[in-house]
Amino acid sequence: GESVGLHLPTLSVQEGDNSIINCAYSNSASDYFIWYKQESGKGPQFIIDIRSNMDKRQGQRVTVLLNKTVKHLSLQIAATQPGDSAVYFCAEKGTGRRALTFGSGTRLQVQP
Amino acid sequence: GAGVSQSPSNKVTEKGKDVELRCDPISGHTALYWYRQSLGQGLEFLIYFQGNSAPDKSGLPSDRFSAERTGGSVSTLTIQRTQQEDSAVYLCASSLDDSGKLFFGSGTQLSVL
């Protein structure tokens, strides 16, 4: 069946280092991908999105990479800061499907 | 308001009672979603409203769950005869269109004793 999953449930990095959070998806018909950040007690917050006709998109300190060949998505955070500590979710939406399907999340811990 | 508003933020109820959770989406957003998040888990899709179209109820876990959206704006999620396994954070989101870019509220923490 369709699924969106993450390789690492917890990622610990040092402040200032770059972080890479990975996500695999199984629905080859997915055409829209999105990363969310969720801090404790809050709802998920949009970070960055990418459509299937692209393989890279950059934002402020964040980059999303999409490899459709192996159905892999990653979020790169440059110069990770303590405020980046949160749970990160990838999500995908397929053509004709109305709602996002979310992965199980990766917790990012930034060590000072 | 500026964002998606949900109320109450916390709800404690007894097993067997009915609960209503409210969501005020961002003004002008035509699509509204309900998701459920159990402790330490990802988001589970429940139901989706888009304009005047029939809602997509494919994610509702049982017939104890229902939702309405009045006037294309405010939505209410109702859980009848609550069970302990219903305990979770219920998140509402809205989007400007059907693109998939969702804006979430802070959720309602439901605890069924």
Q: What single string gives the DSSP state of each residue in A37-78?
A: EE-TTS--EEEEEEETT-SEEE-SSEEEEEETTTTEEEEEES
Residue among A42, A46, A105 whose CB faces B101 most closely: A46
**Residue B22: pLDDT band with limits 50, 70, 90:** very high
List chain B residues with CB under 8 Å of A91. 43, 100
CA distance B54 to chain A (A): 12
Of the candidates B13, B73, B69, B17, the residue with the CA atom closest to the CA atom of residue B46: B69
Residue of chain A whose Cα is closest to the Cα of B48: A99
Look at residue A90 in the predicted model and tell me its pLDDT. 94
Q: How far A14 CA sits from the closest chain B CA (Å)?
A: 23
Q: What is the mean pLDDT of chain B?
A: 93
Residue of B nearest to A32 (CA): B100
Chain A, chain B: beta-carbon pairs less than 8 Å apart: 56
In this structure, what DSSP letter does residue B84 have?
Answer: G
- What is the C-alpha to C-alpha distance for residues A70 and A28, in angstroms, rounded to an integer? 9
Which residue in the set A49, A89, A101 is minimally distant from B101, CB to CB?
A49
- What share of chain B has pLDDT > 90, as a percent? 81
- Is A102 close to B107, i.e. CB distance below 8 A? no
Residue-wise pLDDT tens for chain A (112 aa)?
Answer: 334 544 448 999 999 999 999 999 888 888 999 999 999 889 999 999 999 999 999 999 999 999 999 999 999 999 999 999 999 999 998 876 678 889 888 999 999 8
